[in-house]
Amino acid sequence: MFDAHIYKERRYKLKRRMQSGLLLFLGNDESPMNYPDNTYHFRQDSTFLYYFGLNFPGLAAVIDLDEDREIVFGNDLTVDEIVWMGTQPTLKERASRSAITETYPLVELRSMIEKATARGRSILFLPPYRHQNVLRLHWLLDIAPGDIASEASIDFIRAVVDQRNVKGPEEIVEIESAVNITVDMHMAAMRMIKPGITEAQVAASVTEVALAAGGNVSFPVIATINGQTLHNHFHGNTLKPGDLFLLDAGAETPMGYAGDMSSTVPVNNSFTERQKEIYTIAYSAHTEAVKLLKPGRKFREIHLAACRVIAQGMKDLGFMTGDVDEAVSAGAHALFFPCGLGHMMGLDVHDMEDLGEVYVGYDGQPKSTQFGLKSLRLARELEPGFVLTIEPGIYFIPELIDLWKREKRFTQFINYDKVETYKNFGGIRNEEDFVITADGYRLLGKPLPKSIQEVEAAKTRPLLHHPEEE
Nearer to ligand GLY, 63 or 179 (CB): 179
Query: Is the distance from CB of 225 to CB of 426 less than 8 angstroms?
Result: yes
Choose one: 51-59, 89-97, 140-148, 252-260; the region binding Mn ion (CB under 5 A).
252-260
Q: Does 28 bind Mn ion (CB under 5 A)?
A: no
Cα dist from 259 to 126, 184, 208, 275, whole Å: 25, 11, 15, 27
Nearer to ligand GLY, 429 or 459 (CB): 429
Alpha-carbon span 274 to 372, nearest angstrom: 25
Count of residues near ligand GLY by CB under 6 A:
5
Nearer to ligand GLY, 63 or 344 (CB): 344
Cα dist from 83 to 29, 88, 109, 203, whole Å: 20, 11, 27, 35
- At position 347, the amino acid (one-letter code) is L
Nearer to ligand GLY, 104 or 219 (CB): 219
Which helix (H) or strand (E) segment is 434 a member of?
A: strand 432-436
Nearer to Mn ion, 64 or 260 (CB): 260
Alpha-carbon span 43 to 38, nearest angstrom: 15
State the minimum distance, in angstroms, from the CB of residue 104 to ligand GLY: 39
Selection from Mn ion, ligand GLY, none that 23 binds (CB < 5 to 8 A by kind) is none
**Exposure pattern of 390-403 as b/e (b: 16+ CB <10 Å)?**
bbbbbbbbeebbee
Query: Is the distance from CB of 123 to CB of 116 less than 8 angstroms?
Result: yes
Count of residues near Mn ion by CB under 5 A:
2
State the minimum distance, in angstroms, from the CB of residue 395 to ligand GLY: 13
State the minimum distance, in angstroms, from the CB of residue 218 to ligand GLY: 8
Angle between helices 452-460 and 273-291 (to 10 degrees): 120
- Smallest Cα–Cα separation from 239: which of 187, 185, 199? 199
Site string for ligand GLY, 212-231 (x = CB under 6 A): -------x------------
State the minimum distance, in angstroms, from the CB of residue 61 to ligand GLY: 30
Question: Running DSSP on this structure, what letter comes out for residue 355?
Answer: G
Query: Is the distance from CB of 339 to CB of 371 less than 8 angstroms?
Result: no
State the minimum distance, in angstroms, from the CB of residue 295 to ligand GLY: 23
Q: Does 252 bind Mn ion (CB under 5 A)?
A: no
Alpha-helical runs (H) found in 166-230: 169-192, 199-212
In sequence order, what DSSP letters do the residues of 303-351 get, joined into one string?
A: HHHHHHHHHHHHHHTTSB-S-HHHHHHHTGGGGT--S-S--B-SSSSST
Subset of 41-100 contacting ligand GLY (CB under 6 A) = none
Question: Strands 69-73, 102-104: parallel, antiparallel or unpaired by DSSP?
Answer: parallel
Nearer to ligand GLY, 103 or 207 (CB): 207
Contact with Mn ion (CB under 5 A): which of 243, 260, 432, 456? 260
Nearer to ligand GLY, 74 or 259 (CB): 259
Selection from Mn ion, ligand GLY, none that 219 binds (CB < 5 to 8 A by kind) is ligand GLY
Q: Does 260 bind ligand GLY (CB under 6 A)?
A: yes
Alpha-carbon span 42 to 50, nearest angstrom: 16
Site string for ligand GLY, 115-154 (x = CB under 6 A): ----------------------------------------
Q: Does 353 bind ligand GLY (CB under 6 A)?
A: no
Q: Does 252 bind ligand GLY (CB under 6 A)?
A: no
Site string for Mn ion, 375-414 (x = CB under 5 A): --------------x-------------------------
Nearer to Mn ion, 128 or 392 (CB): 392
Site string for ligand GLY, 331-350 (x = CB under 6 A): ------------x-----x-
Query: Is the distance from CB of 382 to CB of 296 less than 8 angstroms?
Result: yes
Query: Is the distance from CB of 186 to CB of 448 less than 8 angstroms?
Result: yes
State the minimum distance, in angstroms, from the CB of residue 219 to ligand GLY: 6
State the minimum distance, in angstroms, from the CB of residue 394 to ligand GLY: 16
Contact with ligand GLY (CB under 6 A): which of 174, 248, 432, 433? 248
Cα dist from 358 to 157, 352, 365, 379, whole Å: 11, 11, 6, 9
Q: Does 357 bind ligand GLY (CB under 6 A)?
A: no
- Upper half-sphere CA count for residue 306 (Cβ side, 13 Å): 33
Beginning with the edge strand found earlier in the chain, give each strand of the sheet holding 432-436 in spatial order. 387-390, 432-436, 441-443
Interaction site with Mn ion (CB under 5 A) = 260, 389
Q: Footprint of ligand GLY on this chain (CB under 6 A)?
A: 219, 248, 260, 343, 349
